[in-house]
Amino acid sequence: MNQVSTQHGTKLRPAGGTLRWLVGKAPWNQASAAGRAAGKVFPPLAPDLHPFLGHLPALRRSRVGILVDGMNQAGDTFRIQVPWMHATVFTDPEHVKTILQLRHENFGKQTRGFDQLRIFLGNGLLTSEGSFWLRQRRIAQPAFHKARLAGFARGMVKAAEDMADAWARRTDPEIDVSKQMMAVTLRIVSETLLGRDVSAEADHVGTAITALLENVQARMTLPVDVPLHWPTPLNRSYHRAADVIDRVVLDMIAARRKESGRHDDLLAMLIEARDEETGEAMDDRQLRDEVMTIFMAGHETTANALAWTFHLLSLHPTVRERLDAELAAVLGGRSPTIEDLPQLAYTKQIVQESMRLYPPAWVIGRNVVADDEIGGYFLPKGTLAFVSPYLTHRNPRVWDNPEGFDPDRFSPERSAGRHPFAFFPFGGGPRLCIGNGFAMMEAQLLLATFAQRFHLDMVPGHRVVPEPMITLRPKGALPMRLVPR
């Protein structure tokens, strides 16, 4: 395709060639052609475009790099394209609001990314849509109400204290913070919401989850979907990992069915829910999908947020000193409780600032259901729209000194008047993360518990590299040294 720059962006012109003719038959190109004919304006392309492969080589080099270059060089809205996908990336908070909230009906979850997640999450809360999703969301919502969350605080602190006790008994001061945070958040989500402690299997489950995420990521970058029953190495590794997690989740459900009536948690709500019209309960398949979704979405993200927080604290001693001072003043060495949370304001700001720089859900994709226009740019039906907390949180037109770590920017004074979608680590609109209150409370309590007992220092020589998979994790392990306080 040839581009013609205009005052407002770039218009597309059709070009010749058989390959291009074939690609031109794709639905998004048909819609784009109609847009061109109608004189619509398309946003500029991100830099580093290969003539045939589009941004594929650049994406393979660095998924985040190409997006950051797009924002810095092309502006707040830009396009990326590979032969099988055209996407518009929006980084302006008002545009993010339009997509996630104001016109959310036109931005659906029928994307390849969500299709890959559906392979193992099935039709659970994160991946379902429409009236079915709404019904399931209403069933699950009460488990996340404020009054219920309060009841989880003690369990969260107990899990963190048990882990800190285990740290204190260690002879080797070096730990893998990513792995440790994964284990403690796994215990918390399974105990509080699903009524079962799976800590004994944390290692096993953690390895399987990492393998699954890597697998899903690898599938997303393939040009075509490979059927799961083909005996490819990718499929075999998928089945190995999925079997481990499936077994844990199905055991959880089976155990609960035997002891029904004795629990009052999310799993109980899901099992006891009855369809208003038919009176039917959720079938085993649906129950498995919902539990799998909570199990996966409910710990990996929070674990990454905490891992990034400890990394940032080790790089910013003055922030850590202020954290220590707040913990000493509010807690004086005792365990934090739910009542302490309002006083642990700086602790919360540290978590927020860490999620600004390293939002675990770093990119959110949607399919454009019908032709649309945002910010003067045409969005053809069948293309993708991406919003990215990572980009908006680092957009220099939205934030002062965006690369700096400054928890004070979340103080009430400095937050006043900020666009609600300038910071959106939990998404927004009707599909806002159902676990956002749970996650914030958990992160605040865990940070307070661990930081009171230990400083975590960088291991000299270890380079921390962000790995943007489905979630943004530190690549490989995050080794840090425990320093008792």
253 is a contact residue toward ligand HEM (CB under 6 A): no
Nearest-angstrom CA–CA distance, 349 and 304 = 16
Contacts of 277 (CB under 8 A, 6+ apart): none
160 is a contact residue toward ligand HEM (CB under 6 A): no
Helix (H) or strand (E) holding 236: helix 233-258
The residue from 89, 385, 434, 447 that contacts ligand HEM (CB under 6 A) is 434
Task: Report 330-389 residues binding ligand HEM (CB under 6 A).
Answer: 360-361, 364
CB of 363 to ligand HEM, least distance (A): 9
446 is a contact residue toward ligand HEM (CB under 6 A): no
Between residues 411 and 436, which has the closer beta carbon with respect to ligand HEM?
A: 436
DSSP 406-436: -GGGGSHHHHTT--TTTS-TT--GGG--TTH
Widest pairwise Cα distance in the chain:
72
Structure tokens at 464: 């921390």
35 is a contact residue toward ligand HEM (CB under 6 A): no
CB-based contact 160:448 (threshold 8 Å): no
DSSP for residue 98: I
Nearest-angstrom CA–CA distance, 85 and 18 = 18
Structure tokens at 118: 């559906």
The residue from 11, 63, 104, 137 that contacts ligand HEM (CB under 6 A) is 137
Interface region with ligand HEM, contact rule CB under 6 A, candidates 55-63, 147-155, 273-281, 429-437: 429-437
The residue from 43, 44, 427, 474 that contacts ligand HEM (CB under 6 A) is 427
CB of 289 to ligand HEM, least distance (A): 11
Task: Report 282-311 residues binding ligand HEM (CB under 6 A).
Answer: 293-294, 297-298, 301-302, 305
Interface region with ligand HEM, contact rule CB under 6 A, candidates 3-11, 57-65, 217-225, 431-439: 431-439
The residue from 89, 125, 160, 341 that contacts ligand HEM (CB under 6 A) is 125
- State the CB neighbour count (10 A cutoff) for residue 28: 21
Between residues 144 and 167, which has the closer beta carbon with respect to ligand HEM?
A: 144
Nearest-angstrom CA–CA distance, 296 and 292 = 6
213 is a contact residue toward ligand HEM (CB under 6 A): no
The residue from 96, 186, 189, 470 that contacts ligand HEM (CB under 6 A) is 189
Nearest-angstrom CA–CA distance, 433 and 293 = 12
439 is a contact residue toward ligand HEM (CB under 6 A): yes
CB-based contact 178:477 (threshold 8 Å): yes
Residue 429: name the closest of 84, 58, 3, 103 by CA. 103
Q: Which residues make up the interface to ligand HEM (CB under 6 A)?
A: 125-126, 137, 189, 193, 293-294, 297-298, 301-302, 305, 360-361, 364, 425-427, 431, 433-435, 438-439
